[in-house]
Amino acid sequence: MASAATTKTAPGTRDRLVSTASRLMQRGGYENTPVKQLVREAEATLGSLYHFFPGGKQELAVAAVHYGDEEFAELLRAGLASHAGPAQAVEAVAVLLADALADSDWRDGCPVTATALETVGRIPELQTACAQAFAHWQQMVAAKLLASGYPEAEARDLAATVINTLEGAETSAQVTQSRTPLLVAGRHLARLVASYASPDRA
Amino acid sequence: MASAATTKTAPGTRDRLVSTASRLMQRGGYENTPVKQLVREAEATLGSLYHFFPGGKQELAVAAVHYGDEEFAELLRAGLASHAGPAQAVEAVAVLLADALADSDWRDGCPVTATALETVGRIPELQTACAQAFAHWQQMVAAKLLASGYPEAEARDLAATVINTLEGAETSAQVTQSRTPLLVAGRHLARLVASYASPDRA
C-alpha cells in the first residue's frame, strides 16, 4: 500500500505517476483515464509504469486513491485543528474546501468520489481503497468529537454525516460553480454538531 | 428538452434509448458509456439513435439526465408526501433511498452524480442538465418546508443541505454496501430541519 508518506521517500517518476493518476481520476474517474494520457502527463514511460506497478493501471489507481485520501486528510487535519470546538472546526473545513475548489476553477473536487461510483460492484480492489479513504476521513472527524467528550456512537455517526454532507455539497458546488453549497453545509453541520453537545462539552 | 413525461407519449425505441443511457450513466458516467453498448442494451440501432437524437450521444445524454432527474423526483415526491411534518418526511426519503439502493445491489445510486463530476468544465450542456436536476430536487424539498411555514431563505438553504447530504450518504452507502450512512443521514437531517422549526410550525 503506497501512501503519500511512502512516496515522499521515493521521489521522481513513481511520485509523478501517482499524483498524475490521482488528479486525472479526481476529474474523470478510473475508466476515463487512459494509460497513454497518464504516462504522457506524468512525463513517464509505459515501461516505468509497469516497473513501479507490475499490476499496471489498476495497481497504480489503488496507489492514486491512497494518495488522494492523504491529500484530503491534510486539508481536513488543518481545518479540524483550526478551532478547539468541533462545531467551528467542522465549519472551518467546509470553508477550506470551498476555497480550494474555487482555486481549482471547480475542477478538483473529492479525489475519490468519481472513482468510487464507477467501481461499485466492478473493481473490488479500487472500491475497497475508496471505502478506506471515506473511513479514514470519518475517523479523523470522530477523533475530534471524541476528544471534545462526545460519546463514541454519537461521534461516529456525526463524523459519517459530516464527511457525507461535505462530499455531496462539494459535487453541488462544482456543478453550480459556487462556494455557497459548501458554506451552507458548513453552517448546518456546525449547528448539528453543536446540537449534540451537552453544556459541559459544548 | 426531453423529460420523462415527454418520452411517455412516444414509447418504444426512443424510450429504451433514454432509459438505458440513464442507467448506464448512473453506474459509470458519460464517457464510460460506449455508444455501441448503449445501442445494444437498448435493443436499438445506431440509425435510430441518430434519428431520435441528431446531436448523437451527447443529445441523448442530456435526455438521459432529465430522465434520471424525474426518476429521483418520483421517489422524493413519495417520501415527502408520506408525512405531514417536513422533518419526518425528509427522514422517510432517506429510508426509501436506502431501500432502493439495497434492492439494486448498491449499483443504482444517484442517476446524475457520476455524469456531473466528469462533465464539470468539459461539457457545458451536460453540466447544465445535471445542475438543473439538483436544483429541481432542492426546489421540491424547499416547497415542503415553505408549505410548513419555514421562511424562504431558511427553506432554500435547508433544502440544499438535505439533497447534498443524501447525495453524499448515497455514495458512502454504495461503497460500503450498507444502508447505514443513509439512515444516519436521515436521522441527522430530521434533527437539523426540526431545529429550525419554531413551536408554531414544528
Contact A172 B164 (CB under 8 A): yes
d(CA A142, CA A155): 5
Closest CA to B158 of A166, A76, A188, A160: A188
DSSP H helical ranges for chain A: 4-8, 13-28, 35-41, 46-52, 57-81, 86-103, 113-119, 124-147, 152-176, 180-195
Whether residue B86 has pLDDT greater than 90: yes
pLDDT of residue A4: 46
Share of chain A above pLDDT 90, in %: 81
* A11: in domain: yes
Q: Is the pLDDT of residue B2 over 60?
A: no
Strand spans (E) along chain B = none
Query: What is d(CA A108, CA A102) in angstroms, rounded to the nearest whole number?
Result: 9
The answer as to whether B202 is a domain residue is no
Which percentage of chain B shows pLDDT scores above 70?
A: 92
User: Is some CB atom of chain B closer than 8 A to the CB atom of A91?
Assistant: no
Q: Cβ neighbours of residue A187 under 8 Å, at least 6 residues apart?
A: A91, A94, B157
Which of B88, B129, B112, B89 is closest to B170 using CA atoms? B112
Please state, in angstroms and rounded to a whole number, the distance separating the CA atoms of residues B21 and B118. Answer: 16
Yes or no: say if A113 and A171 are a contact pair by the CB < 8 Å rule: yes
Tell me if B117 and A171 make a contact (CB, 8 A cut-off). yes
Quote the pLDDT of residue B7: 47
The span from the CA of A189 to the CA of A48, in Å, is 45
The model's confidence at residue A27, banded by pLDDT at 50, 70 and 90, is confident
Write down the pLDDT at residue B82. Answer: 98
User: What whole-number distance in Å separates Cα of residue B158 and Cα of residue B138?
Assistant: 9
The answer to whether A29 and A68 have CB atoms below 8 angstroms apart is: no
State the maximum Cα–Cα separation within chain B, in Å, rounded to a whole number.
61
User: Across the interface, which of B106, B127, B171 has its CB nearest the CB of A175?
Assistant: B127
Judge whether B40 lies within some domain. yes
Q: Which of B175, B8, B78 is nearest to A69 (CA)?
A: B175
How many domains is chain A built from? 1
Residue B4 has pLDDT above 50, yes or no: no
Answer whether residue A202 is part of any domain: no
Residue A141 CA to residue A89 CA, distance in Å, equals 9
- Which pLDDT does position B198 carry in this prediction? 64
Q: Provide the pLDDT confidence category of residue B200 given band limits of 50, 70 and 90.
A: low
Tell me the percentage of chain B whose pLDDT exceeds 90. Answer: 81
Enter the pTM of the model: 0.91
Q: Does A171 touch chain B (CB under 8 A)?
A: yes
The parent domain of residue A155 ranges over 4-197
Asked if residue A24 belongs to a domain, the reply is yes
Per-residue confidence at A28, pLDDT binned at 50, 70, 90? Answer: confident
Which pLDDT tens digit goes with each residue over B125-157?
999 999 999 999 999 999 999 999 999 999 999
For an interface test with A, the pick among B113, B119, B175, B196 (most A C-beta atoms closer than 10 Å) comes out as B175
The single residue listed with the C-alpha cell 430530521 is B190
Is the pLDDT at A199 greater than 70, yes or no? Answer: no
Smallest Cβ–Cβ distance between B113 and the set A117, A130, A185 belongs to A117
> Using CB atoms and an 8 Å cut-off, which of residues 12-71 of chain B contact chain A?
27-29, 31-32
What mean pLDDT comes out for the span B23-27? 91
- Chain B touched by A148 (CB under 8 Å): no
Which residue, B165, B60, B103, is CA-closest to A172?
B165
The CATH number linked to B19 is 1.10.357.10
Choose among A105, A120, A188: nearest Cβ to B161. A188
Predicted pLDDT at A198: 64
Do A121 and B109 make contact, defined as CB atoms within 8 angstroms?
Answer: no
The answer to whether B186 contacts chain A (CB < 8 Å) is: no
Q: What DSSP designation does B145 have?
A: H
* Chosen from B69, B103, B107, B120 to mutate, greatest number of chain A CBs within 10 A: B120
> Which grid coordinates are listed for B51?
434519428
Q: Give the residue from chain A lying closest to B186, CA to CA.
A: A161
**CA–CA separation, B188 vs A103, rounded Å?**
31
